[in-house]
Amino acid sequence: MDTTKGKQPGVTLRDGTAHIQVWAPLAEAVSLHAYQPDVEVELAKDEHGYWCGKSDQLHDGQKYHFRVDGRMLPDPASRSQPEGVHGPSAVLDISYDWTDYDFRPPHPRDLIIYELHVGTFSQQGNFDGVIERLPYLKALGINAIEIMPVSQFPGERNWGYDGVFSFAVQYSYGGAGALQRLVDACHKHGIAVVLDVVYNHFGPEGNYLPAFGPYFTDKYQTPWGQAVNYDDAWNVGIRDFVVENVRMWFRDFHIDALRLDAVHAIRDFSPSHILQDIRRATDHLIKQKDRPYYLFVECDLNDRRFLEPLEKNGFAIDAQWLDEFHHALRVSIGEQRIGYYREFEPVSHLAKAYHTAYVFDGTFSSHRKKFFGSSAEGLAGERFIVFSQNHDQVGNRMLGERSSMLYTADVQRLAAMAVLVSPFIPLLFMGEEWAAKTPFLYFVSHSDNKLIKAVQEGRRAEFADFHHEGDVPDPQSESTFERSILNWNEIAEEPHKRILAYYQALIQLRTSNQVLKNYNRRDLRIDYEAQKQSIVLTMTHEASVLLCVLNFSTSNQTFPLPHGKWTKIWDSADARWGGRSVSPHQCQGELPVTALSGAIYQHD
């Protein structure tokens, strides 16, 4: 596959002419039928199953269908679905007067990422609602936002992983133009934009792809049914489709990085994996535009091949989410060890995650009942993204509880510190920084009654063992969605105001201290004491040394200090954060650390 040449699917306007292309390899006749005024454009069959044509009779905003062997269908590569997933597509001119040409995203090692869901981030529930809060995010110390998927999904309430029109921006969020406005505004504030995209499955409602061709295959089964057809007969259509979608987000929306959802669920045994094609296309665009674009993935395989360069037949992904750091951290702060948490050991596995990234790096996994994972030796810390909360880990709880609803303030401060002193890329989940009390629940707004019932019953079955906690919130109910909208009034109230100040100061320390800002895993010594339930991190950069103690026990602990005088530069139990610290400003010989807290000392 030539990843340097784009096959722009759908209807694209260039110099007043509509260029039309749709992949339907098994069809006998394909045309485009537009409305108001009615226009019929017959398409000619090109190589590899593409149907192509041009017209100067189509205009911006005009609605249309493709007629495939007599059946009227929305465009699978539609840029706009103003009437939802079942309505006609609309021609859309996505050109935009950008003002961000001097912007360059931070290097991954410098990122402070803030994950958000557009629909619940603000009362407006759209891109403009995010724009209004950019000064707040900038003041917090955020230099990258990660937006949950925005490709058109059914209805107006969804996490975004039920998207069925990969090229169309969710209409209820404001559509393509509003997303471009948001990206431009982010860049003006010095904030990069990461967009979550889904290439491992398509949503169950409004998915018209099978009517056009073999976009799916029975060769494999996935949690969502048929697998996307990346390596079976007639796979050219979906491979071109996905690679061009990547190009579109980078080229036409100025997105800085893509986060590819659950790539472990992609089934592809082609000589060139679809992720390698995506990498090559991205590299070509980097060279062409003379600016960086990054690829991040969610992957639970602990397989370093995803991060290895193309020259080693790797996928050359820039960074991956490190769920195992999250799991080890959560059991260290008291998470109940059930389900996949059962096999994680408090403190010791968190210490291992700091040192080796992957906790299971070829060792036996009792949850999977097999030896699992590979070594991450030699992979820099900036290749991994860590967090104490994210949309999955909050929203996949039955009641959508954030850490603020599960743990005391001192535990929340300790967890945040564990993330922000790590040698990895830190990520926050919206509202975490002020201990928001609103839950983040699972919600949908389907129109198919059978599907609605299936989702409701599936959710109840998933949490059958938790009936003592109450009823499972109805995903279809509008109130479930409304309960998940952030309450921004909280940030002016205590204790939210204090925890927000804590996060702001901690991020400032991370980004300004020369050791925290620059050290890497090779410069990190990790010691842990199971009896004290504590981890001691010794960080070095050039001639500077920091000692960071994380005390996960419910008792004050004392630790021996290396020779010399040490001065405190951070204490999560400081009185200004509402704590009661036992750690002195300066000390020698030994260091007392408050229960459920962390302290950082600098060698004088």
38: in domain: yes
Helix (H, G, I), strand (E, B) or coil at 442: coil
Q: CB under 8 Å to 416, separation ≥6 — which residues?
A: 388, 432, 502, 503, 506
Residues 81 and 133 in one domain: no
Cα(first)–Cα(last) distance of the chain, in Å? Answer: 58
243: in domain: yes
- Assign residue 595 the CATH number of its domain: 2.60.40.1180
439-487 per-position pLDDT tens digit:
999 999 999 999 999 999 999 888 876 655 778 999 999 999 999 999 9
Residue type present at position 470: G
- CA–CA distance from 191 to each of 112, 119, 182 (Å)? 10, 20, 11
Known catalytic residue: 474?
Answer: no
Task: State both tokens at 116.
Answer: 């958000």
Of 476, 504, 532, which one is at a domain's C-terminal end? 504
**Residue 571 host element (H or E):** strand 566-571
Q: Name the one residue in this structure whose structure tokens are 């495939």.
A: 68
261 belongs to an annotated ligand binding site: yes
Residues 156 and 189 in one domain: yes
Q: Name the one residue in this structure whose structure tokens are 């609309």.
A: 90
Helix (H, G, I), strand (E, B) or coil at 146: strand
164 belongs to an annotated ligand binding site: no
Q: Which of 184, 205, 240, 261 does the annotation list as catalytic?
A: 261
Residues 292 and 193 in one domain: yes
Residues 79 and 150 in one domain: no
Q: Name the one residue in this structure whose structure tokens are 């800085």.
A: 256
The number of residues making up the chain comes to 604
Residues 175 and 28 in one domain: no
Residues 299 and 168 in one domain: yes
254-291 per-position pLDDT tens digit:
999 999 999 999 999 999 999 999 999 999 999 999 99
Known catalytic residue: 261?
Answer: yes
152 belongs to an annotated ligand binding site: no
603 belongs to an annotated ligand binding site: no
87 belongs to an annotated ligand binding site: no
Residues 155 and 19 in one domain: no
Burial class (CB in 10 A: 0-12, 13-18, 19+), 548: buried
Residues 458 and 553 in one domain: no
302 belongs to an annotated ligand binding site: no
Q: Which of 146, 240, 268, 298 does the annotation list as catalytic?
A: 298
518 belongs to an annotated ligand binding site: no
Of 61, 90, 119, which one is at a domain's C-terminal end? 90
* Domain boundaries, position 249: 110-200+239-504
120: in domain: yes
Residues 493 and 539 in one domain: no
Give the integer Cα–Cα distance in Å for 126 and 120: 9
259 belongs to an annotated ligand binding site: yes
76-95 per-position pLDDT tens digit:
999 999 999 999 999 999 99
336 C-beta neighbours (distance < 10 Å), count: 10
Residues 18 and 165 in one domain: no
465 belongs to an annotated ligand binding site: no
Q: Which of 66, 62, 82 is nearest to 74 (CA)?
A: 66
Give the integer Cα–Cα distance in Å for 359 and 341: 12
What string of DSSP letters covers 147-179? EPP-EE-SSS---STT--EEEEE-GGGTHHHHH
Residues 342 and 396 in one domain: yes
200 belongs to an annotated ligand binding site: no
1: in domain: no
183 belongs to an annotated ligand binding site: no
Residues 300 and 402 in one domain: yes
575 belongs to an annotated ligand binding site: no
Of 56, 90, 124, which one is at a domain's C-terminal end? 90
- Assign residue 56 the CATH number of its domain: 2.60.40.10
447: in domain: yes
323 belongs to an annotated ligand binding site: yes
83: in domain: yes
CB 422 within 8 A of CB 509: no
225: in domain: no
Number of structural domains (the chain) is 3
- Assign residue 327 the CATH number of its domain: 3.20.20.80
Give the integer Cα–Cα distance in Å for 148 and 120: 11
513: in domain: no
Phi and psi at 305, nearest 5°, equal -60, -30
State the alpha helices, DSSP H only, in 29-142: 118-121, 127-132, 134-140
393 belongs to an annotated ligand binding site: yes
Task: State both tokens at 588.
Answer: 């020698």
Helix (H, G, I), strand (E, B) or coil at 439: coil
Task: State both tokens at 164.
Answer: 């069925």
Phi and psi at 522, nearest 5°, equal -70, -25
Low-confidence stretches of the chain (pLDDT < 50) are 4
